[in-house]
Amino acid sequence: MTNRAFALELPRTLAELLNDEFSEARLEKALGIEHGVPCELWDAALVGPLSDFLSRPGKEFRARLVRLGWELSGRNAPPPPELALIIEALHSGSLVIDDIEDGSTERRGAPALHCAYGVPLALNAGNFLYFWALELLSRLALPPITELGLHRAFSRTLLACHQGQALDLSVSIASLSQADVLPTVSAVTRLKTSKLCELAAHMGAIAAGASQIKAQAIADFGSELGAGLQMLDDLGGIASERRATKGYEDLRHGRPTWLWAWSAQTLDPRAYAKLQQLGQRVSSGREAPEPLAGALRSAVGRHGRIEAHARLVSAMTRLAQAVPESRILAELEHELARLEKSYD
């Protein structure tokens, strides 16, 4: 049975909204009745690549966080139908851009968009999704003060995500001192994963008209949830065979992940230096990533799982203190336990 805390029946899909965006009526409104651009040109330029990408199955986890933020605010009626899809448009855009910047070749079981359609079209499509999300937000007919709050939250999040991505792309684990690893990994997580989950939960709360204090508590929960799940995701990248592609990609790029942060915490300087040297050999292509993955697993042991669990428990505890009257806290706690187990 699906827990209502994270249950979400999206009334439409992003692909359907995209088709509406490039309908004759919408194009005539934007360009005038004599816009004269054949449909096949739009298909080749933008609609086709994005329809391909948006039709691929995803987890829609952030969309569920929007619904959760709405329900935690005490609203019984469902949120505006497209509200949850807006965060998915933003997230999809970030995935397209991330794949270009990371040199990833696959996304959601198919070639990455830049591999299938070329970097210029994919780059433009990813940026289109950022701005389309903001435009969709303006079409919800929310009270002006509510819309302003959502736009400000969007702007803060986009700024933070690009700051975090800059760190993630430029910092190599080989160049970081042992003392700098934990704060760097924490910053990247906070600015990327946490901020997007924070925005999703915050969107639901703001749109529902929650008080500023309650909306901030719900946003903080989204942020901490994102951090805990990023820890579990990093662990899964070296512990789960089905997730090894992404984990090994991070090792080859020398990315600072939570595996490195925990190793820097638990190892003495000599042992950490040896691990770092192994990492250099992997990132330079002189050695396969499997031995490094094994060494990181040994260094981290159960510490990583304990840290991630503590982060999720803390997030849940703080939320319960701020929103004690919520009827869905028990269901949410059960769902978080299921999510955590899914990373085993």
pLDDT tens digits, one per residue of 8-63: 444 468 888 888 888 888 887 777 766 677 888 889 999 999 999 998 887 788 88
* Mean pLDDT of all residues in 236-261: 83
Of 141, 165, 189, which residue constitutes the final position of a domain?
A: 141
Strand, coil or helix: what is 103?
Answer: coil
The pLDDT of residue 4 is 42
Of 120, 141, 162, which residue constitutes the final position of a domain?
A: 141
Q: Where are the alpha helices (DSSP H) in 13-76?
A: 14-21, 24-31, 39-42, 48-54, 61-72
What is the C-alpha end-to-end distance of the chain, expressed in Å? Answer: 21
pLDDT confidence band for 121 (50 / 70 / 90):
very high
In a domain, 73, yes or no: no
124 in the same domain as 176: no
| Least confident window among 51-65, 113-127, 201-215 | 51-65
Distance of CA 235 to the CA centre of its chain: 16
In a domain, 4, yes or no: no
One-letter amino acid of 26:
R
The pLDDT of residue 310 is 93
227 in the same domain as 180: yes
232 in the same domain as 197: yes
* DSSP secondary structure of 114-139: HHHH-HHHHHHHHHHHHHHHHHHHHT
pLDDT confidence band for 343 (50 / 70 / 90):
confident
Q: Answer yes or no: is pLDDT of 3 > 80.
A: no
| Least confident window among 137-146, 215-224, 235-244, 287-296 | 235-244
Q: Answer yes or no: is pLDDT of 7 > 50.
A: no
196 in the same domain as 290: yes
Higher pLDDT, 329 or 132: 132
- CATH classification of the domain holding 218: 1.10.600.10
Q: Which residue has the tokens 């439409």?
A: 12
Of 141, 156, 187, which residue constitutes the final position of a domain?
A: 141
Contact 70, 48 (CB under 8 A): no
Task: Using a pLDDT cut of 70, give the percent of the chain over it.
Answer: 94
* Mean pLDDT of all residues in 60-82: 86
Q: Answer yes or no: is pLDDT of 90 > 70.
A: yes
Cα–Cα dist 3/196, whole Å: 23
296 in the same domain as 152: yes
255 in the same domain as 217: yes
In a domain, 64, yes or no: no
**Helices vs strands, H then E, count in the chain:** 18, 2
The pLDDT of residue 344 is 67
Number of domains in the chain: 2
Higher pLDDT, 190 or 61: 190
Q: Answer yes or no: is pLDDT of 141 > 60.
A: yes
195 in the same domain as 329: yes
164 in the same domain as 308: yes
In a domain, 7, yes or no: no
Q: Tell me phi and psi for residue 111, to 5 degrees.
A: -60, 140
Q: Answer yes or no: is pLDDT of 92 > 60.
A: yes
The pLDDT of residue 30 is 76
In a domain, 20, yes or no: no
Question: Residue 91: in which H helix or E strand, if any?
Answer: helix 83-102
Residue 109: which domain range?
A: 27-56+81-141
In a domain, 69, yes or no: no
Q: Which two tokens stand for residue 124?
A: 């433009």
Cα–Cα dist 310/314, whole Å: 6
Q: What's this model's pTM, rounded to 2 decimal places? A: 0.87
In a domain, 17, yes or no: no
Nearest alpha-carbon partner for 63 in 6, 136, 147: 6
pLDDT for 273-311, tens place per residue?
999 999 999 998 899 999 999 999 999 988 989 999 999
181 in the same domain as 44: no
323 in the same domain as 191: yes
Q: Which two tokens stand for residue 107?
A: 């996304």
Higher pLDDT, 3 or 230: 230
182 in the same domain as 312: yes
Nearest alpha-carbon partner for 105 in 283, 252, 234, 316: 252
154 in the same domain as 86: no
Question: Residue 111: in which H helix or E strand, if any?
Answer: strand 110-111
What one-character DSSP code corresponds to residue 171?
Answer: -
CA distances from 137 to 141, 142, 191, 207 (A): 8, 9, 22, 10
Q: Which of 183-192, 243-252, 283-292 has the highest mean pLDDT?
A: 183-192
194 Cβ partners below 8 Å, 6+ apart? 222, 223, 224, 226, 227, 230
Q: Answer yes or no: is pLDDT of 328 > 90.
A: no
Report the chain's mean pLDDT, rounded to a whole number. Answer: 88
In a domain, 191, yes or no: yes
pLDDT confidence band for 87 (50 / 70 / 90):
very high
Instruction: Give 191's Cβ-side CA count (13 Å radius).
Output: 16
Higher pLDDT, 1 or 195: 195
